[in-house]
Structure 1
Amino acid sequence: MRIYLKDVKNNEKVKIYIKKADDYLDEIGYTEHGFRHVGITADLAFKILKKTGFPKREVELAAIAGWMHDMGNFLGRENHPQNGAILAMRVLEEMDGDMNEIAAVGEAIANHEEPSGIATNPITAAVVLADKADVHRSRVRNSNPATFDIHDRVNFAVVKSSIFVDQEKKEISLNLNIDIKICQVMEFFEIFLTRMVMCRKAASVLDCEFRLEVNKTKLS
């Protein structure tokens, strides 16, 4: 049977896995990876594939993968993409999903993170771009700026983040507004360079160029 995002959102196991994953990351000092983040990732993955002209079913599968992509974190941060893919495929099998579609979702989840992840199809590419686009101060849980690590500081410095698909120019642009009093642009690149390289490769799978704009200055 065909499974839709609304079905996955209502699945009790998925709800538990996402909450457990976010609770675990909270305990070890990571930024927010809960329902806010997976919701944004699912929504952006949906929009990216829709605007680049892919079939409705692939668009829906990208949204499903986006919703489920981080739930393997409670089994350990290092291998969370692969662990999450296994969990997701088991849940979707229990929901009597189509095996080809289940495999596509699993592949996207398993390959969404650098340095090991490789986007080789549109669903994975959309999830990669959507996930990396969610850089924002609202993800920072630490309430004391004096104790920010570099990830906290970079995320907190981003006051606005948006991704724009120009189908005519075949460009996917990530536009960030950064408070340079909190984080310099070079510091941003210190931790995000590998992510931006991954975004460029993902965009190429969608036959697009990836552009990064920081404070209205084009950097790529």
Structure 2
Amino acid sequence: MEPCRMVSFQEVWKSEEVNAYIKNGNENLGVIGFTEHGFAHAKRSADTARDILQCLGYDERTCELAAIAGYMHDIGNVVNRVDHAQSGALMAFQILNRMKMDPAELALVVAAIGNHDEGTAAAVNPIAAALILSDKSDVRRSRVRDKGTVDADIHDRVNYAVVHSSIDIDTANRTAALNIKIDTEICPVMEYFEIFLTRMVLCRKAAQYLGLLFELIINDTRLL
């Protein structure tokens, strides 16, 4: 058996195989009318997941594993949107196993990817919790592919109405605050809750796993 090694985020980020799956998965979702799930979303999810754990004092290797999971979490869309978390986790296992990632680390990354989607998600480890928060906080105008769908599609309308979003960790008060600025002329705040309430409940559970209180702040008003 060949020895394991520490697979770096840079290796995953530059992997032609991983990037082919992200690209084609995003194209597949475009055909069926989903928002952007390409390189911008992958990199933002990776960076945010890493930042969350760094803020909480996790060791650098755990933070890097969170970035790896964040970058790879949507590769299963190349297979199908349905159950993409599970198919993506199996794909990630094959890729990272070939890269000789340590099985103990691989188990954490695969669990995080397999537990990030609302229907089956759970904060089963710190990497999974950070991935849930980073993935679900990426709501932004630039994820809408076609402005012509904004009036007819509530998901596109909500995303298009968001002019700023960030997940802010306050270690002193032990809070994770999702701060969102919404143009209410495009979308009323109620529509955000209409489609994202399940995600916010999931974020609350993920924050709780990390020892944090989840807060939702929209247009400077705390709603959760």
CA distance in 1, matches of 2:151, 2:87: 31
Q: Are 1:31 and 1:139, in contact at CA under 8 Å, matched by a contact in 2? A: yes
Provide the residue aligned with 1:137 in structure 2: 141
1:58 aligns with 2:66: no
CA distance in 1, matches of 2:211, 2:133: 13
CA distance in 1, matches of 2:158, 2:14: 33
Per the alignment, do residues 139 and 67 of structure 1 end up closer, same or farther by CA in structure 2, a change over 3 Å counting? same
Q: Are 1:119 and 1:201, in contact at CA under 8 Å, matched by a contact in 2? A: yes
Residue type of the alignment partner of 1:70 = D
1:27 aligns with 2:37: no
1:124 aligns with 2:115: no
SS at match of 2:54: helix
Runs ≥4 residues deviating over 3 A: 145-148
1:199 aligns with 2:190: no
Residue type of the alignment partner of 2:175 = E
Provide the residue aligned with 1:13 in structure 2: 17
Q: Are 2:25 and 2:78, in contact at CA under 8 Å, matched by a contact in 1? A: yes
CA distance in 1, matches of 2:186, 2:151: 13
CA distance in 2, matches of 1:181, 1:46: 34
Residue type of the alignment partner of 1:63 = A
Q: Are 1:73 and 1:80, in contact at CA under 8 Å, matched by a contact in 2? A: yes
Extract unaligned runs of 5+ from structure 2.
Answer: none
Provide the residue aligned with 1:49 in structure 2: 53
SS at match of 1:144: helix
Q: Deviations over 1:126-178 (max 9, x none)?
A: 00000001000100001315654110000000011111100010001000000
Superposition map of 1:44-193 within 5 A:
44-145=48-149, 148-193=152-197
CA distance in 1, matches of 2:221, 2:121: 29
Per the alignment, do residues 142 and 148 of structure 1 end up closer, same or farther by CA in structure 2, a change over 3 Å counting? farther
Q: Deviations over 1:167-194 (max 9, x none)?
A: 0100010000001111111111000000
Aligned residues: 220
SS at match of 1:175: strand
TM-score normalised over the length of structure 1: 0.98
CA distance in 2, matches of 1:84, 1:45: 18
Q: Are 2:73 and 2:89, in contact at CA under 8 Å, matched by a contact in 1? A: yes
CA distance in 2, matches of 1:176, 1:206: 21
Q: Are 1:115 and 1:194, in contact at CA under 8 Å, matched by a contact in 2? A: no
Q: Deviations over 1:69-128 (max 9, x none)?
A: 001012111110000000011000111111111111100000001121111211000000
TM-score normalised over the length of structure 2: 0.96
CA distance in 2, matches of 1:181, 1:150: 14
Q: CA RMSD in A?
A: 0.9
CA distance in 1, matches of 2:54, 2:34: 31
Extract unaligned runs of 5+ from structure 1.
Answer: none
Q: Are 1:81 and 1:111, in contact at CA under 8 Å, matched by a contact in 2? A: yes
